[in-house]
Structure 1
Amino acid sequence: MTVRLRGHHLLCLLTFVGEGYTPSFTRNYVGIAKRLSAGESITVVDGPDDICAPMLCEAGAHCREDSITRRDSLALAAVADVLDRSIGSGSVLVLDADRLRRLRSAFAEGRAAAACAECEWAGLCRSVADGGFGNALVHAAEDPSLLREEL
C-alpha cells in the first residue's frame, strides 16, 4: 500500500500532533501517521489526497481552493530542495530517519515553511517545531526491513 499525499501535506506531517478540523479528519490522519511511521511509502498526488478524504463531502471544503494548490507548489519546491531531488505528482518516497530529520531541520530553521505562511495551523506547527517535534505523531520506521528504496 501507499499513502497518497498532496504537496503541502508533506510538510504538515512533520508537525502533526493529533489535532484537526473534525473528529473524523483527526482519526483518519492519526491512522495515516501510523502507516507512515511503519514505513509505508508516499505517492505524491495533485489535489485532494488521503488526508483530505474526510473533508471532501463537507460544504466549503478548502481542499480544492486555488490557495491550497499554491501551497502545494511551494511545499513541493521546498521538499525537493531539502531532499535534493525532483518531486512532483507521481513521485514515491519513504520517510526514513534521514529524510525526516532533514525535513524537520529545514522546517524548524524556516527553510521549508514558506508554504505555511497563510495556514491557520502555522502557529501550532511552529510551536511543535520549537519544541523539537517531541509530540509529533509521524516517526521514521524503526525496523530497517520496512524501509524500501524509492521506486
Structure 2
Amino acid sequence: MTIRLRAHHLLCLLTYVGKGYSPAFTANYDGIAERLSRGEDILIVSGPDDVCAPLLDEPQPHCLRESAVERDRLAAADVEELLARPIRIGARLDLDAAILARMRQAFSAGPVRKACGGCEWNELCSAVAAGGYRDTRVQRSALAGKR
C-alpha cells in the first residue's frame, strides 16, 4: 500500500511521538507511523491526506486553511532541495533509513524548517529533535532492512 501525505507532513513525521489533536487523530497517526516503519512508500498529494483524515469531520478543519497549503509549499521546496529530487504532487518517496536520517539531521540543524513557523507543535518538535528523536514513532531500525 501507499501512504498519501501532503508535503509538510514529511516534516511532521520526523518528530511524531504520539501526541495529536484528538485520540482519533493519534490512533490514525500511530497506524501511519507503523506503516512507514514497515517500509510503505509515500505519495505526495495536495490538500488533506491520510494524516488529516480524522480531522475532516470538524466544522473548520485546519487542514483546509491556506496556512496548511503554504506549509506544504515551503516544506516541498526545502525537502526537494535537501534530497535533490522532486517533491511535487504525484511524486513518490521511499522513506528508507538513510533518507530519514538525512531529513532528521537537516530538521535538527534548521534548514528544512521554514514550514514550521507559526505551527502550534513547533516547540514540541524542537524538543523531540533536541532529544535525539527519542520515542519517535517512525523508527530507523525498522527501516534499516528495507533496501
**C-alpha distance in 1 between matches for 2:46 and 2:10:** 12
**C-alpha distance in 2 between matches for 1:135 and 1:85:** 29
Unaligned ranges ≥5, structure 2:
none
Correspondence for 1:35: 35
TM-score by length of 2: 0.96
Root-mean-square deviation (Å)? 1.0
Correspondence for 1:89: 89
**C-alpha distance in 2 between matches for 1:52 and 1:5:** 9
**C-alpha distance in 2 between matches for 1:94 and 1:133:** 20
Correspondence for 1:133: 133
Correspondence for 1:74: 74
Correspondence for 2:113: 113
Unaligned ranges ≥5, structure 1:
none
The alpha-carbon distance between structure 1 residues 142 and 46, as it changes in their structure 2 partners (threshold 3 A), is closer
Secondary structure of 1:4's match?
Answer: strand
Correspondence for 2:21: 21
Q: Deviations over 1:22-66 (max 9, x none)?
A: 000000000000000000000000000000000001111111100
**C-alpha distance in 2 between matches for 1:115 and 1:75:** 5
Secondary structure of 1:17's match?
Answer: coil
**C-alpha distance in 1 between matches for 2:107 and 2:43:** 21
Corresponding residue pairs, total: 146
Q: What fraction of aligned residue pairs are identical, expressed as a percent? A: 53
